Amino acid sequence: MNTSFITLLAADEPGKIIGFGIDLPWDLLLQWLSLVVIIVILYKLLFKPVTEFLDKRKEGIAKTIDEAKGQKASALGLKANYEAKLTHIEEEASQILKDTRAKAMVREEEIINAAKEEAEAIKIKAIADMKLERERIKDELKKEMIEVSTLMAGKFIKSAIDETKHNEFIDEIIKEMGDVQWLN
């Protein structure tokens, strides 16, 4: 075999590259058969495992890409959800502000009404106090008038008025006091 291969490479005659002899077809057949056997052995030993490795790798990459697409879709969904929540939060904040303003207005009304009621109660109490004070002053004036009357009567008695003048004088004072009606 070696000789035919060498023969093929080195021609018997000088100047020729390939020498054709009877052994050449068998040598070529043997070389082709060896090449096929080597290819089959390499196919079995290397090609199948390499192909399987590449297929597994391809599947892994495809799976990773699919997972990445799924995660991207999930992330986009979350982003849309958060954006919707942000919009909703702004609406909620606006609604909370409206509610708070409405509550503040109600509370303001309650405070104003309570202040009006308190002012009215103070006013009523002041009027009642003024009436009581007026009555007290009237009573004091009555007492003073009685004292003055008593003093006057005492002075008239001292001056020795007769009984008829005394009665006329008392009737006159009572009449005057009745017309005044104690300073109503």
Could you tell me the residue ranges of all domains in the chain?
2-180
φ/ψ of residue 22, rounded to 5: -65, -30
Q: If you average pLDDT over residues 68-88, what whole number do you get? A: 89
pLDDT, tens digit, 9 for 90 and up, residues 1-53: 445 444 444 445 555 566 666 777 888 889 999 999 998 888 788 877 888 88
Closest CA to 34 of 1, 69, 68: 1
- The answer to whether residue 83 scores a pLDDT higher than 90 is no
| Residue 14: DSSP 8-state | T
pLDDT (0 to 100) of residue 132:
92
Dig out the tokens for 33 from the structure: 């058969």
Q: Tell whether pTM > 0.85.
A: no
Which pLDDT does position 122 carry in this prediction?
Answer: 94
**150 or 131: whose pLDDT is higher?**
131
Q: What is the mean pLDDT of the chain?
A: 81
Residue 103 confidence (pLDDT)? 92
